[in-house]
Structure 1
Amino acid sequence: MWLSSPEIARLRTGALFLACAADPGWCTDQAERALAHMHAHGIEPELRGVDDFEDDALIVAVGFVNNGLSLSELRPSGDEFATSLRLLEQAVGRPVAGLMPLAAANVNALVPILTGMQIGLPIVDADPMGRVFPLLHQSLFTLAGLTAGPVAVTGPTGETAILDVDKPARAERLVRALAGEFGGWAAAALYPMSAGTLGASGVIGSVSRLIHIGEILESGLPTHHKHEQLRRTQGVQRIIRARVSNVEGLSRPAPPGQPDRPSSVFLVEESQGKIVQIEIQNELLMVLVDGAVEAVLPDIITMLRPEDASVAGLDDLWVGNILDIVVLPAAAQWYTPAGIELAGPAAHHALLRRRWEKRP
């Protein structure tokens, strides 16, 4: 299918919905750059299902990797991902047939849209996560025993590197270190694999899902009707409306090798007087209600504004503000023992791990 301008806007909204704690400015900028390219060149990006490719067609993931902090003020010049893809093609000795997002959420959901139009490649309706996780090796490809490399990266000043690395966890450390050296981020091309392998290991339909979510949230329906559609079509399990009562720890340092900005937010569900707590570290990690775990990674936790169900962000976490906390399940593979070990509570901040271990 060919994506129109309204569908790109819906994709952006859906991408923010699954990663509301990330920097929305970069997501918006990437969507606007894609729309500007569409209008300037009179073209539309193509979204294809995995089954639309030959089994041996080469598919590559593309996405920004930062140095553990918010993406820097150094904005892309426009050709960084094309450069990384050329390097990767040289390393593997064959052309790329399709691009998938490194994560079907926030800015990385939009990266293949613009890059695909720039170099004439379709976007694959799949990704390695089905959401976003803080670390690039927290992917279903790691669970499947697939290699991450070779990995090609390009920085905002044009510096490049090709990493002959196999283990995803090692690729995570090397790419994130390079992102810091490059000036805050790197345009990465990684996880080269056949379409057949992707079909067996990835999250299928994750890009079109974002468009469907965006269509719901951008509709003119009342908020409660949007909530009902999210429950019916996206498997939303819980929506908690609560008022922010306290925010703490926004500058606590993170453990080495993990993204920064861990914090705790307390809210009051005024209808019943329940205390809601959110643990945050680069994303919403855990929700507790009266001290009991209500949702935790790999569950997807996000926030909406009650007045119109638009996506809220960290800037909305001010004392007195009312928000809807939304919980929905991640891809089924994340709830296996191996998935929980890789991306569940024990893989994150020690405080989160202790609270999870003390659950009833």
Structure 2
Amino acid sequence: MSTVLTPDDVGHLRTGAHFLACAIDPTAIHVYAGMIQETMQTRSVELITVDELAPEDLVVSVGMVTQGLFISDMPPVGDEFTGCIEAIETRLGRRVRAIYSLAAANINGIIPLMVGLQSSLPVIDSDPMGRVFPLISQTTLNIGGVAIAPIALMGATGERAVVEAGDPQRAETLVRALVTELGGWAATVMYPCSARQLAEHGVHGSISRMIRIGQILEAETSAESKFLSLSELLGVTRIARGRVSHIEGLSRPTDLGLPAQPSSVTLEDETTGQIIRMEIQNEILLVLVDGAVAAAVPDMVTLLNSEHGSVANLDDLRVGNVVDVLKLSAAPQWYSEAGLDLAEPAAFGIPLQHPRRHHG
């Protein structure tokens, strides 16, 4: 069922995208949401399911890849994504029929709407992560053997590149190097595939899910009632309600060229006195309760302000704050052997296997 999205939907989507990646600086999401709502006064964007396309239709992912530069420091001028789509069409000799998001959270959760408005292409309610991961190789399409290349990039400098790389990890290395050269961020179009491949290997309902999360979080209800609605919608569980007791930047180096400032946050559970420790690299990768693993990537962990039920940004956490530490499961593909190889803590340099490795 295709839907024409409204400015209200964009506001909810912004909040939902922030909820699923509480670690980020939300400025860029707000800037983008404002631009999209403004553009919607004269143009419309259509949200479709992947089943509405012909099986062999060409679809591509759109997303920002950043390397150390906040997008809000040097915003895109507008033609970056359409330029990348044209580059892929020229390279493949085929028209792109629809676009989908590279990730279902953070800035990339909302970018397809802007690109849909600019290109008049419909936006598919699917993505290849079902959350956000730092590496472009960490996708369910990669798990399913769908090629990442050709990849088109255009950055802050206005220069454009097309990368051909068979190996997703190698593509990751080349794209990161180019993004640095292109000024710190790049609009990218990658994973060109058929609608059938996306239907088979993607995560579905991602944009409508973020909109629904936003509706829940923006409702005039109590924090507890928001939590119950999120539990019903997403199977969210509460690991703890904790008071922040310690925040530190870790000395542990990040390898693999992971874009991250590792840090950790210690909290004390208000009721039980248990000690909660969160390990962070862009996202919350690991939560330990009295030393036992309570959540580990690819599980999603997010924080809500325990008083208002609004998203608590990691950047804004201060000693003494009380937050709810919430956990939700990632898409099922991530718990397969191949999925855990790509996205369990060990993939982020934390020498730990995901608990599901041992329990089938």
Residue 115 of structure 1 corresponds to 115
Equivalent-residue separation in structure 1 for 2:96 and 2:353 (angstroms): 44
- Compared with structure 1, are the counterparts of its residues 215 and 251 closer, same or farther at alpha carbon in structure 2 (3 Å cutoff)? farther
Residue 309 of structure 2 corresponds to 309
Deviation at 1:238, TM superposition (A): 2.4
| Corresponding residue to 1:24 among 23, 26, 31 | 26
Residue 14 of structure 2 corresponds to 12
Q: Which amino acid aligns with 1:196?
A: R
Deviation at 1:173, TM superposition (A): 1.0
Identical counterparts, % of pairs: 47
Within a 5 Å distance, the mapping from 1:1-360 to structure 2 comes to 1-39=3-41, 41=42, 43-67=43-67, 70-71=70-71, 73-249=73-249, 253-349=253-349, 352-354=350-352
Superposed CA deviations along residues 36-60 of structure 1, whole A, max 9, x for unmatched, are 1112x2x221100011111111110
- Compared with structure 1, are the counterparts of its residues 289 and 124 closer, same or farther at alpha carbon in structure 2 (3 Å cutoff)? same
Superposed CA deviations along residues 190-247 of structure 1, whole A, max 9, x for unmatched, are 0001101100000011111111111111111111111001111111122421111001
Aligned residue pairs total 355
Equivalent-residue separation in structure 1 for 2:166 and 2:90 (angstroms): 17
- Compared with structure 1, are the counterparts of its residues 225 and 72 closer, same or farther at alpha carbon in structure 2 (3 Å cutoff)? closer
Unpaired runs of 5+ residues, structure 1, are: none
- Secondary structure, in 3 states, of the residue corresponding to 1:248? strand
Equivalent-residue separation in structure 1 for 2:133 and 2:337 (angstroms): 17
Equivalent-residue separation in structure 2 for 1:177 and 1:45 (angstroms): 33
- The answer to which of 244-253 and 46-55 deviates more is 244-253
- Secondary structure, in 3 states, of the residue corresponding to 1:231? helix
Equivalent-residue separation in structure 2 for 1:341 and 1:253 (angstroms): 21
| Aligned residues of 1:252 and 1:261 also touching (Cα < 8 A) | no
| Aligned residues of 1:68 and 1:176 also touching (Cα < 8 A) | no
Unpaired runs of 5+ residues, structure 2, are: none
TM-score (norm 2): 0.95
- Secondary structure, in 3 states, of the residue corresponding to 1:353? coil
Q: Which runs of 4+ in 1 moved over 6 A?
A: none
Superposed CA deviations along residues 253-290 of structure 1, whole A, max 9, x for unmatched, are 42241112001110011211110100000111011111
**Aligned-CA RMSD value:** 1.7
- Secondary structure, in 3 states, of the residue corresponding to 2:189? strand
Deviation at 1:70, TM superposition (A): 4.7
